[in-house]
Structure 1
Amino acid sequence: MATSSGLIAVGSGPAGISAAAAFRERHPTLRVQILTADPALPYAKPPLSKDFLCGRDHHVDLHTADWFDRRRLELVRGITVDHVDLDAREVVTRGGRRYAYWNLVLAPGATPVPLDVPGAENALQLRSLADAVTIRMTALHARTAVVIGGGLIGCEAAACLAGNGIVTTMVAGEPVPLQRRFGLDAGERIAKLLSDCGVRFVGSARVVEVCDDGVMLDDGGSLDGDLVVAATGVRPDARLAEAAGIRTRGGRIVVNEHMHTSAPNVFAAGDVALAHNVTAGRPIPTEHWRDAADQGEIAGASAAGQPAVWAKVPGFHCAIGDARLKYRGWGTGHERTRLVEHRDGFTVWYEAGGEVVGVLSLNADEDYRLAAELVGTHLPLSDG
């Protein structure tokens, strides 16, 4: 039997890498392994839709191979973990190989929500570096494109494609992009940003079939698309935890403020985690890069015996053409929105229970900074 690792991280995204690095800092001699199904060196996903598709200068690699070697972090690529044996403290791969651990961090991220229509196999997804390369190569020979889905990734991808001279249409199935998440006021302004980039937005329509040359809509219409991208969202991949009997809720792994699961010596971080945020005073789901890295660092430190806590207010940036949207907040629903127009941007404040729970801003960094204070201290927005 192989020597047990001091820590095994399942997943090579920001949560898994941060957990491994944080554990290594505190235990310089114990074995640390990172297991991932991805054959590529760990890379950052946000630049894929923000820069890579646009043809801008991009740096997607998280670290070089030498970075892992110098820290003696064993990166095992191209393997799929089948299940976790909690009693034996082993991770078992699909091929039957067993990896023994003392501490385990589950950070498998999320999987794309499949496009469930005839011809869905003709649509390309944007979830991995390989996906981004395929889309970029296909776009070189495309005159028209359809992006299905009006989420953050869909907006960024559509703006990139249009910016490269491709006639691009977005179909979102709601009146304005991101309405369910950010409300009508924000959605209308995001639609304007997309229009300024040359993206045509088709709201309240639904794709019912993907064809060789475009898509069919539920109203009987059709859209030309030499390239069709399915940006239909993701769902946390909690299958390993569920099969092992680790506590989950709503498809996520339940963890405390230290990222500890219901199982001994097992932690979880990133998209898959439903973590207790001590500032919020409740569990907060988040699917953003910086938050995953923060949670991974906390998981690695806690596994190393130096428990840290998750207390930061989550946030992210979204690039639509040259516009940079910034969000800070809990992202868990709101009761009231307040729109403030600026000369070259806007701010949308989100409130619930008499306090600020989030802010979405464009060219309003002062509001963005203020949001961190108001959200973090549970304060209301002054009417002044």
Structure 2
Amino acid sequence: MSVVSGLVVVGSGAAGVSAAETFRARHPGIPVRILTTDPALPYAKPPLSKDFLCDRDTRLDLHSAQWFDRNRIELIRGVTVRGVDVDRQEVVTAGGRRYPYWHLVVASGSAAVRPPISGIESALTLRSFADAVALKMAARYSDCAVVIGGGLIGCEAASCLAERGVATMIVAAEHVPLQRRFGVEAGERVAKILSDNGVRFAGETTVAAIEGDRVVLGSGETVDADLVVSATGVRPDIRLAETAGLTIRDGRIVVDEHMRTSARNVYAAGDVALAHNVTAGRPIPAEHWRDAAHQGRVAGMTAAGFPAVWDIVPSFSSVIGNAVLRYRGWGAGYERARFVDHHTGFTVWYESGDGDVVGVLTHNADDDYRRAEGILRKR
């Protein structure tokens, strides 16, 4: 049976669903398909480590199955796309099925990176809903856990495990958590937040091996752990883009402010995209849910033939225990970090070499967070 061309989206995360939803709203009669390896209905990922793992009330589904049926968006789950024929404008699945497209949005997201550690295959990750369910079930039968990695996901997951009564330690190469991204002073405050929530932090430490129910540190010391979580970062999944010959830089697909790639009628959005941000005046990696959703909307608008550009200032929040950290800015690059202590929180202003503000991190300092929007846009 022949398949009618239309919009094809690869990936069912925020970027992919936003692109499909936006395109459908403007073209009710053109076929729209989402192809995804995930067997679950499209869901929000940030609540997995912030709420779901902690047993807090949360709504994960982006839309119900009935919503996709009602809007005539064909959601094809549990399928792997192995290639794109940009000349014939077809997407090819691992089973050999071909889906022709008029417009294609690549929103394949990221995959968890596992460090080269002996026994790492026994460690759990926290990237998908299936990962979160497995980790939540394992935590029920665990007394002690080690989280490898002191980034945002590692800190959030560790605080949730501790909240569930699991004695939890974070092991990280940095002196303090989040040091590479946010600096030493912010990291010291996060270490205090973790400690207050019952999480031990072992900095400047590596994991040499995972052996059964214990973790061997680089120093030779062993730590009991009947649960190990690998939270050592993610890597954009650009395999499809590589097979299609799309332009790639710094491990991401190069797109303009309209999310157009180097191939005709092919767009990219979300983690895989290195997009030109109009407000920043330069390419910015998309790192978080809000960025991905907005980029997906831009891709959907552009594919539908309507004007749209990526111009928002990226922002995100992180929940560690009861503490909420908020960031707004252009990413990791900064020359100076100006730490401002408050009675109940703090603000860190990140500045370039010429003194321009390029980002802000706040804890219980919402006025600074709101003010940063105008400062970043002006600069």
Normalising by the residue count of structure 1, what TM-score does the alignment of the two structures yield?
0.97
Identity over aligned pairs, percent: 64
Contact residue 181 and residue 332 of structure 2 kept, 8 A: no
Match of 1:363 in 2: 364
The Cα of 1:205 is off from its aligned counterpart by 0.4
Match of 2:373 in 1: 372
Match of 2:87 in 1: 87
Normalising by the residue count of structure 2, what TM-score does the alignment of the two structures yield?
0.99
C-alpha distance in structure 2 between counterparts of 1:6 and 1:57, whole Å: 38
Indicate the SS of the match to 2:17.
helix
Match of 1:34 in 2: 34
C-alpha distance in structure 2 between counterparts of 1:110 and 1:59, whole Å: 22
- Cα deviation digits, residues 145-174 of structure 1 (max 9, x gap): 100001100000000001111110000111
C-alpha distance in structure 1 between counterparts of 2:290 and 2:5, whole Å: 26
Contact residue 257 and residue 275 of structure 2 kept, 8 A: yes
Figure out how many residues of one structure are paired with residues of the other and give that number. 378
Indicate the SS of the match to 1:331.
coil
Instruction: Point out 4+ residue stretches in structure 1 off by more than 3 angstroms.
Output: none
1:228 partner amino acid = V
Indicate the SS of the match to 1:215.
strand
Indicate the SS of the match to 2:349.
strand
Matched, 1:143 2:140: no
Matched, 1:101 2:101: yes
Indicate the SS of the match to 1:302.
helix
Contact residue 173 and residue 204 of structure 2 kept, 8 A: yes
Matched, 1:57 2:48: no
Contact residue 7 and residue 103 of structure 1 kept, 8 A: yes
The Cα of 1:115 is off from its aligned counterpart by 2.5
C-alpha distance in structure 1 between counterparts of 2:85 and 2:170, whole Å: 44
Spell out the pairing of 1:49-198 with structure 2 (5 A cutoff): 49-198=49-198
Indicate the SS of the match to 1:168.
strand
Contact residue 284 and residue 332 of structure 1 kept, 8 A: no
Unaligned runs of 5+ in 2: none
Matched, 1:347 2:347: yes
Matched, 1:264 2:264: yes
Indicate the SS of the match to 2:101.
strand
The Cα of 1:60 is off from its aligned counterpart by 1.0
The Cα of 1:354 is off from its aligned counterpart by 2.2
Indicate the SS of the match to 2:334.
coil
1:366 partner amino acid = D
C-alpha distance in structure 2 between counterparts of 1:2 and 1:155, whole Å: 49
C-alpha distance in structure 1 between counterparts of 2:332 and 2:242, whole Å: 23
Indicate the SS of the match to 1:5.
coil
C-alpha distance in structure 1 between counterparts of 2:308 and 2:236, whole Å: 24
Contact residue 50 and residue 319 of structure 2 kept, 8 A: yes
Contact residue 54 and residue 160 of structure 2 kept, 8 A: yes
Superposed CA RMSD in Å reads 0.8
